Chains A and B, each alone.
Chain A
């Protein structure tokens, strides 16, 4: 059974960098059938896709986040990560990692999510 688990600090100061990791068990992130994604949800609001990475290193980012977000993977540890620079209060959200089907581009498996609050 495949399981995704987010980890990272629950509190980040404004202007600092938010770093999150998604550990994947039960499947290899190097499998070509899947991509791996980060999505966030501000409290009481809708879902926002952040970025996706493929096993070959190709990555795709939400243009609205400009160059602040970076997604990368560590195949030796079977995990992928997100870095979001220069955070503000608007980046406060529940951050989810998810498995993205390569062909249909849907998110078929999600982690439980982790709340990150940006505050001094």
Chain B
């Protein structure tokens, strides 16, 4: 049974470039979360979806960040244009109702 799949695992890009992070949640999980982890700010919730609908995007840092979930098996987090301060590990996680979150292995982004 595959877990949450994130791609790419590592991304190095230059400032100003567009970055797209992808997530395939576990089948049947109706909640999907995007978190960002940095040394300074810890684990921050960026946005979460329920049944493909964005519920709370108050954690999205600014308009350069956008997230979509076109169907139950796929979500993207896009940063355009990217900046060095966006360097972080981005986690996708899913859950059913009030259960625990199942995390992907994360996408490590480095913006030069």
Question: Do chains A and B interact in one complex?
Answer: no
Give B contacts to A, CB under 8 Å: none
